[in-house]
Amino acid sequence: MSAEPGGVTAVAHANIALVKYWGKRDSTLILPATSSVSLTLDAFRTTTHVELLDAPAGRDEVVLDGEPLAGAALTKVLAFLHLVRSQASRTATAQAARVTSTNEVPTGAGLASSASAFAALAGAAATAYGLELGRRDLSRLARRGSGSASRSVYGGFVVWHAGDLADPAAGDLTSYAEPLPTAPELDVAMAVAVLDAGPKKIGSREAMAATVATSPYFPAWTEHTEADAAEAADAIAAGDLPRLGEIAEASAMRMHATMLAARPAVRYLAASSLAVLDAVADLRAAGVGAWATMDAGPNVKVLCEGADLDVVAAGLRGIVLPGGGAPHVLLARPGPGLR
C-alpha cells in the first residue's frame, strides 16, 4: 500500500482455488464451511485508490473502470466502507471516501474477480482510515467483503482456514488466510480456457446459499474438503505437482457435483467446458501433467508445470468446441500478494 498526499493506492491479484470454498456457515461474518487452498496469479489484477473526502459518511463515491458503481455491487462496497470505519472507531465523525478502482482483466475473459477487488479495497481503505493492520487482520477484513478475497492478501500458494467452528465470534478471529510453505522446486503455471457462454445466470453468493440449503450432498462435500485442504498443503510442501493436480481436479468436480444436486440444480458446466475437460484428460494420457479446475462459470483453468505451459496452451487452442471455434487461452504464473 502506498499512502500519497491524495489518498492510498493498493494492488491485489486474482487467485484460483485448488481446494474450493463453496458454502458458508455464517453469511454475515463470511465464515466458510471449510478451509480452502489457492494459487494467486500474476494476471488479472485490481488497483484501488481510496481518498477521504471533506464530507460526512453517506456521501461515498465509488468509480469502477471509469463508471460510477451502482446496484448490488455498490451496496457491497458501501457496507464494506462502513465496516472499515466502525473498526477505525470513526463512525461518529466519519468522513466519506472516494474509491476509484481499475480491473486489469483481459477483455471478454469473464474472470472479473471479487477476490482481487476486495483484497485491494481492504488494503487501501484500512490504511486511508488509519487502521494499522497486519497481514492476518487484513485477510480477515478482506474476507468480510468476499470470502475468496482473504486469500488474495498473499501471493503464491495460500490456505484460508475455516477457523473455530464452535462459535462465530471465535470463528471471526481464527478464519484468516496465510501463505503455505512451498517446495522451492515447485514451478507451476495456469492456462485459462475462456469459453463464451454469456453472462452468469446465478451469482456465486446466491448459488452457495442454495447449495447449502438444498443439496443432500453438501454434508459429504464439507466432510471431504477439510481433508483435501490438508493433503493439498502437504503436496505443496513436498513439491508433488501430480498429487496437487489430482486433488485440485477432484475438488472442482466435487464442488460442481454438490451444486448439481441442489434443487433446482445450480449448473455452471457448459458443453464447451466438457470439451475442455476431455482435452485435459487427453493431455494427461499423452504424458503431459495437466489438471483442470472450474469456478462459478463455464471457463476451465488448467494447472501444469511452468515448463509445460506452452504445450498445454497449444493443446487447448487446438480444441474444436461444440458449435465450432476454439477457446481463447490466457496464460498465468504465480503472482504476488497485496501491495
Residues that bind ligand 2P0 (CB under 6 A): 17, 20-22, 30, 36, 114, 146-148, 204-205, 295-296
What's the min distance (Å) between Cβ of 92 and ligand 2P0?
29
Using alpha carbons, list the distances in angstroms from residue 218 to 20, 26, 27, 210, 211.
13, 15, 16, 10, 7
DSSP 15: E
Structure-block grid coordinates of residue 272: 464447451
What's the min distance (Å) between Cβ of 127 and ligand 2P0?
22
What's the min distance (Å) between Cβ of 196 and ligand 2P0?
19
Whether cis (ω within 30° of 0) applies to the bond prior to 184 is no
Q: Give CA–CA dist 228/35, Å, rounded.
A: 9
> How deeply is 243 buried, as exposed, middle or buried, from its count of CB atoms within 10 A (0-12, 13-18, 19+)?
middle
- Which stretch of DSSP H or E encloses residue 46? strand 36-56
What's the min distance (Å) between Cβ of 53 and ligand 2P0?
27
Residue 300 φ then ψ, to 5°: -115, 130
Query: What torsion, rounded to 10 degrees, do the Cα atoms 141, 147, 149, 154 define?
Result: 80
33 versus 319: smaller Cβ distance to ligand 2P0? 33
20 versus 254: smaller Cβ distance to ligand 2P0? 20
30 versus 94: smaller Cβ distance to ligand 2P0? 30
Query: What torsion, rounded to 10 degrees, do the Cα atoms 115, 117, 123, 125 define?
Result: -140
What's the min distance (Å) between Cβ of 145 and ligand 2P0?
7
Selection from 67, 137, 82 nearest residue 338 by Cα: 137
100 versus 225: smaller Cβ distance to ligand 2P0? 225
Using alpha carbons, list the distances in angstroms from residue 249 to 192, 238, 243, 257, 307.
14, 18, 10, 12, 20
39 versus 52: smaller Cβ distance to ligand 2P0? 39
129 versus 160: smaller Cβ distance to ligand 2P0? 160
What's the min distance (Å) between Cβ of 36 and ligand 2P0?
5
Q: Give CA–CA dist 328/330, Å, rounded.
A: 7
Report which residue's Cβ sits closest to ligand 2P0.
147
236 versus 296: smaller Cβ distance to ligand 2P0? 296
What's the min distance (Å) between Cβ of 27 and ligand 2P0?
8
